[in-house]
Amino acid sequence: MVSLTEERGNMTKKNVVVSDAKSGLNMAISVDVSKSSLFTTAAQKKPAGPGGFITISRKQLLQNLEINGGARVNSWVDSMRASSPTHIKSTPLSDDQNSWIDHHPSALDMFEQITNASKGKQIVMFLDYDGTLSPIVDDPDRAFMSDQMRATVRKLARNFPTAIVSGRCRDKVYGFVRLAELYYAGSHGMDIKGPSKGSKYKKGTQDILFQPANEFLPMIDEVYKSLVEKTKSTPGAKVENNKFCISVHFRCVDEKKWSELAEEVKSVLKEYPKLRLTQGRKVLEIRPTIKWDKGKALEFLLESLGYANCTDVFPVYIGDDRTDEDAFKVLRERGQGFGILVSKIPKDTNASYSLQEPSEVMDFLQRLVRWKQP
């Protein structure tokens, strides 16, 4: 356990780098837009029809971003608009969607191949919360998971080390999940805590494992207050303080108010080059510009569990959002385990497999438990 503490100390020094103003707002927006879920394979080849994807090529967009700062903001607003609740609709599968599924087959269909690949290895489960374990609902405070899902995750955690990795404040996501035997990484992995009880996988005695962004707490508080004030005039906008980061939910914001909201958020963040802005699924995320994300959290957790340099570990990460891509990428780069994207529509992703919605996630987790304990 002494070695774990030492490793933690080293990690803090090695990984937590505060970048300069260059990595501030504008940079973050341009990166986000170029990777936005809007620009899927399907979007580039074929528009989904009225109310579907906006047809603009990635190349064209990138040119706009380089040439004109104004276009950057406009594109960002467009992409916000496109992911608004009224714009995401499920339509019958097109050829492009079928081709996407060929490349990211259903984890349920591929169940045997997946479990065969894990033979002789320790499966470690990483689960995003919103949109993965619970459906996306209008009020983020009411994103409850079903009792059936909770029972499933409880059984899962008895059979495999299991972590919840969420953009939400750790206490809040714990309030939804209410399982003490799990690992929790809140605030996009910036707040990591081990099981408080009842896990045979618990290592060490300390509960709080890692909080790399402590110095940002006063700044986050200040920005939270400004954002609450500034977004007051936008009906439906909801600002959530996630301790080490902030979410501005636009699940219920009218389409005509998008640009206004974007401008308000942007104007607040202009003063804070050490915070960056990214767009998730119906949410704007404000985070410290430290080099820490869900992928780093995944690596940290594997290390904490004692699998740092093991070849016989098989991490499985299930998530639905852009921020989960950092974790999918880490798994690809490590060549270990795999990522599963929860999505009904084709998206650019580093995940290997897909599941359509939380109910399919539950089916998959239940099959894993039955497979482990036949």
Distance CA(82)–CA(70), nearest Å, equals 18
Cβ atoms < 10 Å from Cβ of 116: 9
Which residue in the block uniquely carries the two structure tokens 């109310």?
51
Q: How far is CA 162 from CA 49, 165, 295, in A?
A: 41, 10, 15
Distance CA(226)–CA(224), nearest Å, equals 6
Give 24 or 339: the residue with its C-beta nearer to Mg ion.
339
Among residues 267, 257, 205, 213, which one has the least CA distance to residue 235? 257
Environment class of 150 (CB within 10 Å of its CB; exposed 0-12, middle 13-18, buried 19+): middle
Measured on CA atoms in the order 306, 309, 313, 318, is the torsion positive or negative?
Answer: positive
Give 131 or 315: the residue with its C-beta nearer to Mg ion.
131
Sites of contact with Mg ion (CB under 5 A): 128, 130-131, 320-321
Q: Work out how close the CB of 218 gets to Mg ion at its nearest, in angstroms, rounded to a whole number.
A: 27
Distance CA(211)–CA(4), nearest Å, equals 15
Question: Any alpha helices (H) in 68-206, and if so which ranges?
Answer: 69-82, 95-103, 111-117, 147-159, 170-177
Give 320 or 325: the residue with its C-beta nearer to Mg ion.
320
141 in active site = no
Give 264 or 321: the residue with its C-beta nearer to Mg ion.
321
Q: Work out how close the CB of 136 gets to Mg ion at its nearest, in angstroms, rounded to a whole number.
A: 8
Q: Which tokens is 311 given?
A: 């070849």
| Pairing status of strand 275-280 against strand 283-288 | antiparallel
Environment class of 148 (CB within 10 Å of its CB; exposed 0-12, middle 13-18, buried 19+): exposed
Candidate list 20, 78, 95, 128, residue with the active-site label: 128
Q: Which tokens is 75 given?
A: 């594109």
Cross-strand bridge partners of residue 280:
283
Q: Work out how close the CB of 150 gets to Mg ion at its nearest, in angstroms, rounded to a whole number.
A: 17
Give 173 or 265: the residue with its C-beta nearer to Mg ion.
173
Give 23 or 83: the residue with its C-beta nearer to Mg ion.
83
Distance CA(342)–CA(131), nearest Å, equals 7
Distance CA(300)–CA(209), nearest Å, equals 9
Q: Work out how close the CB of 119 gets to Mg ion at its nearest, in angstroms, rounded to a whole number.
A: 30
Q: Work out how close the CB of 201 gets to Mg ion at its nearest, in angstroms, rounded to a whole number.
A: 24
Q: Work out how close the CB of 129 gets to Mg ion at its nearest, in angstroms, rounded to a whole number.
A: 6
Active site positions, annotated: 128
